[in-house]
Amino acid sequence: MICKFAIGRNNWMFSDTVEGAHASSILYSFAFTAKVNNKDTFKIMTEIFKKLPNAQTFDDYEALADLLTK
């Protein structure tokens, strides 16, 4: 897992803005957190992206983060 992460560093050179780099770091964090917790990364990310537009409160966002670990 560390090797794949290190290989990905070359792809991050193409983040043109700080905002883009920040968004990439969040996505990678979600993916690796799901993987470490033995979750189906694609399934969890799909579920998060479906529910994200309806999230409005801190509790809503926390519930989405909980999908990664529970």
Contact between 67 and 48 (Cβ < 8 Å): yes
Q: What single DSSP character describes residue 64? A: H
Q: Please determine, for residue 19, whether its predicted confidence score (pLDDT) is greater than 80.
A: yes
31-61 residue pLDDT tens: 889 989 999 999 999 999 999 999 999 999 9
Contact between 36 and 68 (Cβ < 8 Å): no
Q: What is the pLDDT of residue 44?
A: 92
Distance of CA 28 to the CA centre of its chain: 5
Question: Which candidate, 56, 6, 50, 47, places its Cα nearest to that of 28?
Answer: 6
Rounded (10°) CA dihedral 4, 37, 51, 27: -20
Mean pLDDT of the chain: 83
> For the whole model, what pTM was predicted?
0.69
